[in-house]
Structure 1
């Protein structure tokens, strides 16, 4: 089973999840409706033990076959998650890995999500040996869609997913980033 490498950016360290991250996931994400409302798999109201079950499952699984999840840390403080699901998550792009992310509200608006997503994209293109990476965001999630657009993701399809916290199906925009577009954007930066 592969162990995820630590990734470093100018301000952040992204590391594999650890068991003690469950409390921060619950506090920053699971108990904040303004985060949970944009996620498909999280319950609302928060179900005690859900974050621990999530972390335990991921620590025991092969990240390349299920989900490679990075804890985003700032000065050693857990501030969010960037994850790459193995190919197969999206019926529209079944051969591509899918990236997703969330940052705690107190840390939003400082470019941390953008910085963390860049680092994980760079890792994922190499680790999966893929020519493209997919993502999906709720159609109403304009901030997430803007970040993906800024990274070079292009619209590919529309889909619906059940959002557990909202207890309904939600329209999602499926986007795709070709490796050549990612590399071209990085050369310009």
Structure 2
């Protein structure tokens, strides 16, 4: 099992089956799941356990976000599609929004993935109405490459979506 990544306030570590109930509780909030393409609503512990098993077997770098003093798992961050078509994804439980945790976690994972691979870029996306996610991505150097309609599993419909990318050269200039 790959080691955890420690930041100033967070511990990014592999997800464990013991996280399924907490993960489901955080993701079962429609204000969280509506911004995620693949997460349905409602979301139960069995779905969370299947997600954890899937990420453990996939060629991806996925980490649970722990914030000491916050009661454990507060979200998930990761890059899948490795080693060629890297796609960043992340979410936080609603109680942990607007506290800088998202930026801190994404910065750490992007830095780790660029340091550990020869990737030239990492892709990401955000639903257009998700101002918080867009702010995190642009703050870290991601820029918009396109717009399209994309499905949200939680709302069972399509919403305007932004495609973004971060090139290694841009990351190295600010990292």
Q: Considering the TM-score relative to the shorter chain, is it more than 0.5?
A: yes
Give the Cα separation in 1 of the matches to 2:101 and 2:4: 16
Give the Cα separation in 2 of the matches to 1:100 and 1:57: 15
Give the Cα separation in 2 of the matches to 1:80 and 1:45: 17
Task: Indicate if the aligned counterparts of 2:120 and 2:168 stay in contact, CA closer than 8 A.
Answer: yes
Structure 2 residue 43 is the aligned partner of structure 1 residue 46? yes
- Structure 2 gaps of 5+ residues are none
Other-structure match for 2:17:
19
Give the Cα separation in 1 of the matches to 2:85 and 2:2: 19
- Structure 1 gaps of 5+ residues are 89-94
Structure 2 residue 131 is the aligned partner of structure 1 residue 142? yes
With 68-77 and 32-41 compared, the bigger mean Cα shift is at 68-77
Other-structure match for 1:74:
67
Give the Cα separation in 2 of the matches to 1:169 and 1:74: 33
Structure 2 residue 94 is the aligned partner of structure 1 residue 101? no
Matched residue of 1:49: which SS?
helix
Structure 2 residue 154 is the aligned partner of structure 1 residue 165? yes
Q: Equivalent of 1:176, from 162, 165, 170?
A: 165
Please, what TM-score do these two structures have when normalized by structure 1?
0.85
**Number of residue pairs aligned between Structure 1 and Structure 2:** 173
Deviation at 1:22, TM superposition (A): 0.9
Please, what TM-score do these two structures have when normalized by structure 2?
0.91
Matched residue of 1:144: which SS?
helix
With 168-177 and 11-20 compared, the bigger mean Cα shift is at 168-177
Deviation at 1:40, TM superposition (A): 1.0
Deviation at 1:85, TM superposition (A): 1.2
